[in-house]
Amino acid sequence: MVPSVRTTVEVLPDSEALATKVGERLAEAGRTAVARSGRFLLVLPGGTTPLPLFRWLAGPGLARLPWEWTHLLWGDERCVAPDDPRSNYGAAFAEFLARVPIPPRQVHRWLGEVIPPAAAAAAFEEMLGSLVGSGGRFVAGRPVFDVMILGIGPDGHTASLFPGRPAVEITNRWVAVESEPPRDPKVPRLTLTLPALSASRDVYFLATGVEKREVVRRVLLPSPEPPVPAARVGATDARTFFLDRSSADGMPGIDPRVRTEPGVA
């Protein structure tokens, strides 16, 4: 089912401008979250698209985000050690985590090195239940996270939820194991489920490059095809798609010459 949620699109000239825009939005969201609840629960993506954002966090973001009250999590992880080059946590650590003043106890990584992966999934699910309460259950309309940042794969996958795979249809758990991902790196994955991804006040999707143009079109515009996983992620407040010019170019209703094009549903 495709969520009915307020959706806006921001078009930026390139990946660096996109990173700056998202970083500034994160800084604002963080201050708002701390004023509201005393902490900022931020979920990060993996892959290469967020790397410019990570570098912004280590630069201008160093003084802009409320690191002392921030809790970091990841939407998914590869089942590898944290120092493996394929690790989402490892990439974040190399790019910014080692340089920002966040208390280590507030960095909640998946234990990708734990065997079997089901044990790592169970450990993360237990941690989530302790962190956010709710008796380990989702409550309709009640956000768990403040900001969820996600990427979009060329096939429409997000986190490690791939089209046609069983994990996409899990609705009664926070986390799932994707044992046979159809895309590289083909190692088992740990991932938040669709209900967990959608349990955020705000969801930011990041997409850059011409190779993302068709899938962004499929996510944002009406299509006779079944919705891909990225299109099925909701939010309690709003979804924002941050696109660079090449991923938005030629899409009806989105003019890549302007920075912001609201009202795409």
73, 43 Cβ separation under 8 angstroms: yes
- What's the pLDDT score for residue 259? 38
The Cα 244–Cα 227 span in angstroms is 22
53, 207 Cβ separation under 8 angstroms: no
Question: Between helices 51-58 and 15-37, what is the axis angle to 10°?
Answer: 60
The Cα 2–Cα 243 span in angstroms is 20
Model pLDDT for residues 52-94, shown as the tens digit of each residue: 999 999 999 999 999 999 999 999 999 999 999 999 999 999 9
Place of tokens 């590289």: 184
Fold of 6-144+158-243+251-261: Rossmann fold (3.40.50)
- What's the pLDDT score for residue 134? 61
Residues of the chain where predicted confidence (pLDDT) is lower than 50: 256-265
Extract long-range pairs of 85-89: CB within 8 Å, 24+ residues apart. 86/185, 86/187, 87/112, 88/44, 88/45, 88/46, 88/47
220, 255 Cβ separation under 8 angstroms: no
- What's the pLDDT score for residue 61? 97
The Cα 5–Cα 64 span in angstroms is 29
Q: What is the pTM of this model?
A: 0.92
- What's the pLDDT score for residue 226? 85
CA distances in angstroms from 44 to 2, 83, 132, 135, listed in the order given: 22, 18, 17, 24
- What's the pLDDT score for residue 135? 57
Question: Between helices 88-95 and 51-58, what is the axis angle to 10°?
Answer: 40
125, 136 Cβ separation under 8 angstroms: yes
Q: How far is CA 16 from the centre of its chain?
A: 18
Please choose, from the candidates 73, 90, 245, 76, the residue with its C-alpha nearest in 3D space to the C-alpha of residue 153. Answer: 76
- What's the pLDDT score for residue 225? 82
- What's the pLDDT score for residue 217? 92
Place of tokens 């046609």: 164
144, 199 Cβ separation under 8 angstroms: yes
Residue 112: helix, strand or coil by DSSP? coil
Partners of 243 in beta bridges: 11, 207
Mean pLDDT, rounded, of the chain? 91
